[in-house]
Amino acid sequence: MVTAVGINDFPAAAAALRNFTPRIEIEIEETPAPAKLATHALALSAECIVDDEELASGRFVLLYEPEGHDTWDGNFRCVTFIRAQMELQMGVDPLLPEVGWSWFEDALNGLEVTATSGTVTQATSASFGQLEERGSDSEIEIRASWTAIISAKDPSEISAHFAAWCELLAQCAGLAPITLADGVASIARTRS
């Protein structure tokens, strides 16, 4: 059993998530957390919206066990869900589940994690009758969890895991990553 952090570290980690500022297209809201999965929990929902259209949505739940959890191999467990509309051509690609999982793994690149698990689901629907003009739709769902290895000195490191998940949400929505050239500083955008 891994016990890298102490009993008073959940409030600092939760505060870091509550104070996190995502990219401008993502709106975050705190929602009721599951009560029976862990001693402490925080849940955040997110929507990726461009031009008043929701392109993707999801939920990020941070679970915390002060004494650690054997199956988690740690104290902090991130449990996530993302759903996004896809272009029909991409949505019917038989490799989409593998691609979706590689997006998840790429998002966590550079973070210290263990015990990753999850599923990627692709769904296509066709409309008929009075709904026929809707045409066909396709979507991807990524359900994933991992144990975040966080320093006992700085439980706010959890915000890097949330930032990675927000970038995965944006990627599923089809948004380009925000990258900066060497020597270029980022200026925070404000919401209107």
pLDDT (mean) for 91-117: 93
CA distances from 160 to 11, 174, 186 (A): 16, 21, 17
> Looking at this protein, which amino acid is placed at residue 118?
G
Which range among 73-87, 116-130, 168-182 shows the weakest confidence by mean pLDDT? 168-182
pLDDT digits (tens, 9 = 90+) for 6-26: 556 899 999 999 999 999 999
Residue 58 CA from chain centroid, whole number: 7
pLDDT of res. 2: 42
Q: What percent of the chain has pLDDT over 70?
A: 89
pLDDT of res. 118: 98
Query: Is 182 exposed, middle or buried (CB count within 10 Å of its CB: 0-12, 13-18, 19+)?
Result: exposed
98 Cβ partners below 8 Å, 6+ apart? 120
**33: its two tokens:** 């957390």
The confidence band for 132, taking pLDDT boundaries of 50, 70 and 90, is: confident
> Looking at this protein, which amino acid is placed at residue 95?
L
pLDDT of res. 8: 64
pLDDT of res. 185: 46
127 vs 64: which has the higher pLDDT: 64
Q: What percent of the chain has pLDDT over 90?
A: 64
pLDDT digits (tens, 9 = 90+) for 27-73: 999 999 999 999 999 999 999 999 999 999 999 999 999 888 889 99
pLDDT of res. 186: 46
Please say if the pLDDT value at position 145 is more than 90: yes
pLDDT of res. 86: 86
pLDDT (mean) for 101-112: 96
What distance in Å separates the CA atoms of residue 13 and residue 10, rounded to the nearest whole number? 5
Please say if the pLDDT value at position 126 is more than 80: yes
Sign for the pseudo-dihedral over CA of 34, 82, 46, 155: positive
Beta-bridge partners for 64:
40, 76
